[in-house]
Structure 1
């Protein structure tokens, strides 16, 4: 390796994603790099330029990325030393949508994509770093946030959040591809592709893929005169076809295309070229999937201007949830993604309201409650919230409270437009009762916990499942202090909460039949929320509070932590954790099917296997009930 290559190698290994490669690999890449010296104001590429065969790293100096907005050039980001940019040729075929111009005299390394591609194809970690936030959706071009990382494409900026989303994200693809036989004349195939507006055709024998022809084959082999148009299509087809299974993820598909240097993947029953065709995945499908990346959704949420835009994003989240469940992606992973997007929507709704109303007159915190706070809201269920503002002098109290009530009213109205219906019990920040100062809330929580049951219509156990969405973290810490101070040795509280939890009717009859609704609009349906999920949620909350476990709201995670904290009863907790996931999946699927909150399930519509799965998931509830009675010495419902 020559001295320049050594110098480049030593430079690259300090930066993501090159630090994921070994010295030998970096040396091979460095040996093929072109060093570009850019004078001040020199343009490397501009909007609508054809894509280059390289991407770039700033070795020294400063390069600006800009777009044309409102007839003016708007700088999106400044690329300093170590910043990667120009990744577009990796993931798209259309021209650049940004301009790269040297802000000062700069040195830039041009890394040939053909050289770098094999290292990406053999290293999923590097691919995920490059792919993480790439989207050709032009709305992503307007991100003006400050980022600390060094990966920048012309579309979006890498945020450094390594969460593996790409390896779980689902792909939509054409399930009705154009299929022909190898002896079909090329001219006929070209006509079929044109008539069907497709850029590819699969060549099959008995619905088994043997080859593929694309518009690129037509232009490079037919238009150039290498093959006559009267030949059979098997003369120009590419083979063997690269095949994948229908549950392939976005990252896996991208990896396969990079590894085999192809633009199409054939989907078959088992992912091999020995089984029947299920569809075709194109580069365009990957681009569309990238636009629905949860990370991209969050960026769009941050730039949204109104409730209508938030509603469209929430609908796209629903599609991600549905497709992820269908792919049998772990429910815990789906919940994590959904909660991040939900939290971003809630936060943005507050921000939009502040922009409309003006700056707050005091510090405050907006809290979500219940399923949102527990990160369990996969369906569009009630919005439950409360608002806490800092203590102010008495003469300012009314004006300050009036501001925050109005802020809450604007925010909850926006969220209602998004699809989060207002809690029917009034547990909502726009209700004056749930919008108070820090001192008032501390008194309220202390009253609820020291005198539970005095005002049944106002106390609710969900108020021990809260999560700050927006505002001053110190306010949350103040609430936490009063809550956990009053959970210690509070026999009266646990007696009330325990009996309240045990008051729920059993989900099964003595003869192991599902107890369904006897009247009303949901007659003969099973209330999976009230009879099955809430007892588990209540039980997990009670035990977590009693053991002083802080910072965990999610029911599944609570049971997992309880198994560690109380190993004597670990088996019960772990069974309850599994049961909770199973029941949640049943409810979510029911909600998706009926476009509602999934609370009531038609048992008759379930298969025999699913009915047994549902019954088995209810089994741990009796053991949990007995454990609650024993732990908190409850006798009323024994």
Structure 2
């Protein structure tokens, strides 16, 4: 036998779960292992990377597993020799939820999942071990040279509030299952299943589940003639029934079906067979859940060839947002996933235009601005973008600009077909004002920022919320350098932006009543965008620019970062962050309900609790307004 293979097999048998396998099995695994050498600080995979086809064991050195939550990096675990990590590809289909980085020179063994999977299916100890680690709810804090096989679940997205397990992997299942008694005949149950179009029936005794009958039982036991159709259903049911809690995740359901070799799980009030039935999870439900899994949607986007295919995916994204809000998944998570899918759609629209037009004549950057640039576009609102191309020789300028204007036009029309309306103010890469060379853009930002009063006709503060969708990172960096250089001690600019932020109408009247629209089609409704969200968005932008905080566009994250950078006022910033989430959620729910932008809210239709939430969320705005006036000494507030 190959000595390297032998050495790896010897190493593995010292650690769990490999100590449950024979030396022959270990040698087969070792023969397929890839040895990966990592330099200090080298990343093996990072948050949101596409899953690898292997999981990993540390052979020597140290791997740190971390996530970035609330604008800070949090170390979840330190993996020493023998530790397994990166189990996510075993059980989930969407991308990595953490980063794995070498803390020193490290060697890891990459074990192909296809090679290892048969050993999992045939060995309960190995499966239980992986199941336990995959479904761990709290990150292990073991930090010890001798901690063998110290684990961390790759399913977690860690925030300081709690670990939300696979937040996008919750399941929809039948919560009005067919319930029958042990004495019912098979023919009666088969008829009910056919009428209700169900593929299972739960057999109960005094409301507690004792077994389950599926269409598989019908075909393998009745259709084959093993039992007559007149027998009572308890003769053919599977028993005991495998039970789970109501909030079962996709991964847990998959594992339980695999482990117990069943196709259905029974959902009960406390997750045991000693409480009432609440529903049934079928294999089909798992397939449906995976189809609306963000990783799957992004893969489909990359394969799409037409705007119509992309439109179908955007419709599924809306369903995903709706389900997630209904399941009370934190809005920050919903926004993160939505913006990844939105960006994949934008990117594919640009790629399809390039495929049609041929290669670009120069390097460029397509930047999303506004709510897309801030990654806050949960609803189908309009598109805002700019295009920056590298400087070219004067004689080529015209031809190059024509190509990019054409690219802008094709792409914005594709995006309109997908469902993103054209920007009514023309803030798009198809507009010759917003499609130009890097030098021209630098002049534009210089003008806006150094003489804001004179050149403010077309200055919209959304031009300071930009995010690269496609193209050269260096071009975006060059724009950022100009913005932050000009922002430094620029009283005139902050005076202009500060007054602009304060000019937004106050949401509450002097008597603390919500100010409603007085005329027009939205009479008597509350404009949550202009009166509540915009002042927070403007305030967050103003303070991040004045503190020189680069690379953070999202309003919620901006406030969280400001609380760290400017601790004296951290309470105001944190209150504003929470208010922004509450208001965004109210607007999104309204928009999904009415299939519009959610801008105008009918207070009559709000529940008492939501009205209270809305009023409470408006309270921090007064403090933010005072802070803006004091920090920037704005007296000419109009």
CA gap of 1:109–1:118, structure 2 versus 1, over 3 A, is closer
Matched, 1:416 2:416: yes
SS in 1 for 2:454: coil
SS in 2 for 1:123: helix
Could you say which residue in structure 1 is the equivalent of 2:333?
Answer: 333
Which runs of structure 2 are paired with 1:73-92 in the superposition (5 Å)? none
User: Which is worse superposed, 281-290 or 173-182?
Assistant: 173-182
Are the counterparts in 1 of residues 201 and 214 from structure 2 also a CA contact under 8 Å? yes
Matched, 1:26 2:33: no
SS in 2 for 1:371: helix
Q: Hey, what's the Cα distance between the residues in 2 that align with 1:516 and 1:621?
A: 17
Structure 1 position 253, deviation (Å): 2.3
Are the counterparts in 2 of residues 34 and 111 from structure 1 also a CA contact under 8 Å? no
Could you say which residue in structure 2 is the equivalent of 1:385?
Answer: 385
Deviations 1:99-152 (A, max 9, x none): xxxxxxxx97783443246534553587599xxxxxxxxxxxxxxxxxxxxxxx
CA gap of 1:167–1:603, structure 2 versus 1, over 3 A, is closer
Deviations 1:240-268 (A, max 9, x none): 43333444332232233345443212234
Which runs of structure 2 are paired with 1:404-443 in the superposition (5 Å)? 404-443=404-443
TM-score (norm: length of structure 2) = 0.78
Could you say which residue in structure 2 is the equivalent of 1:452?
Answer: 452
Which runs of structure 2 are paired with 1:50-449 in the superposition (5 Å)? 59=32, 111-116=118-123, 119-124=126-131, 166-194=166-194, 196-205=196-205, 207-219=207-219, 221-222=221-222, 229-269=229-269, 271-449=271-449
CA gap of 1:262–1:472, structure 2 versus 1, over 3 A, is same
Deviations 1:267-307 (A, max 9, x none): 34554545543432101110121122101111111111111
CA gap of 1:209–1:454, structure 2 versus 1, over 3 A, is farther
SS in 1 for 2:239: coil
Q: Hey, what's the Cα distance between the residues in 1 that align with 2:89 and 2:479?
A: 48
Q: Hey, what's the Cα distance between the residues in 1 that align with 2:193 and 2:496?
A: 70
Are the counterparts in 2 of residues 166 and 293 from structure 1 also a CA contact under 8 Å? no
Structure 1 position 407, deviation (Å): 0.4
Q: Hey, what's the Cα distance between the residues in 2 that align with 1:346 and 1:8?
A: 50
CA gap of 1:80–1:322, structure 2 versus 1, over 3 A, is closer
- Mark the runs of 5 or more structure 1 residues left unpaired by the alignment: 15-20, 37-55, 62-77, 93-106, 130-159
- Mark the runs of 5 or more structure 2 residues left unpaired by the alignment: 35-51, 58-87, 94-113, 137-153, 158-163
CA gap of 1:445–1:288, structure 2 versus 1, over 3 A, is same
Q: Hey, what's the Cα distance between the residues in 2 that align with 1:584 and 1:358?
A: 40
Q: Hey, what's the Cα distance between the residues in 2 that align with 1:606 and 1:628?
A: 31
Q: Hey, what's the Cα distance between the residues in 1 that align with 2:215 and 2:554?
A: 51
Structure 1 position 5, deviation (Å): 14
Deviations 1:343-370 (A, max 9, x none): 1111111010000011111111100001
Matched, 1:486 2:486: yes
CA gap of 1:398–1:124, structure 2 versus 1, over 3 A, is farther
Q: Hey, what's the Cα distance between the residues in 2 that align with 1:32 and 1:194?
A: 50
CA gap of 1:271–1:60, structure 2 versus 1, over 3 A, is closer
Q: Hey, what's the Cα distance between the residues in 1 that align with 2:215 and 2:120?
A: 22
CA gap of 1:355–1:110, structure 2 versus 1, over 3 A, is closer
SS in 2 for 1:486: helix
SS in 1 for 2:360: coil
CA gap of 1:258–1:504, structure 2 versus 1, over 3 A, is same
Matched, 1:540 2:540: yes
Could you say which residue in structure 2 is the equivalent of 1:97?
Answer: none
Could you say which residue in structure 2 is the equivalent of 1:632?
Answer: 632
Q: Hey, what's the Cα distance between the residues in 2 that align with 1:80 and 1:170?
A: 25
How many residues were matched structurally?
A: 548
Matched, 1:10 2:2: no
Are the counterparts in 2 of residues 366 and 471 from structure 1 also a CA contact under 8 Å? yes
Could you say which residue in structure 1 is the equivalent of 2:609?
Answer: 609
CA gap of 1:12–1:515, structure 2 versus 1, over 3 A, is farther
CA gap of 1:12–1:239, structure 2 versus 1, over 3 A, is farther
CA gap of 1:328–1:397, structure 2 versus 1, over 3 A, is same
CA gap of 1:406–1:11, structure 2 versus 1, over 3 A, is farther
User: Which is worse superposed, 549-558 or 222-231?
Assistant: 222-231
Are the counterparts in 2 of residues 127 and 255 from structure 1 also a CA contact under 8 Å? no
Q: Hey, what's the Cα distance between the residues in 1 that align with 2:439 and 2:11?
A: 53
Structure 1 position 90, deviation (Å): 8.8
Q: Hey, what's the Cα distance between the residues in 2 that align with 1:60 and 1:539?
A: 53
Could you say which residue in structure 2 is the equivalent of 1:49?
Answer: none
Q: Hey, what's the Cα distance between the residues in 2 that align with 1:275 and 1:5?
A: 56
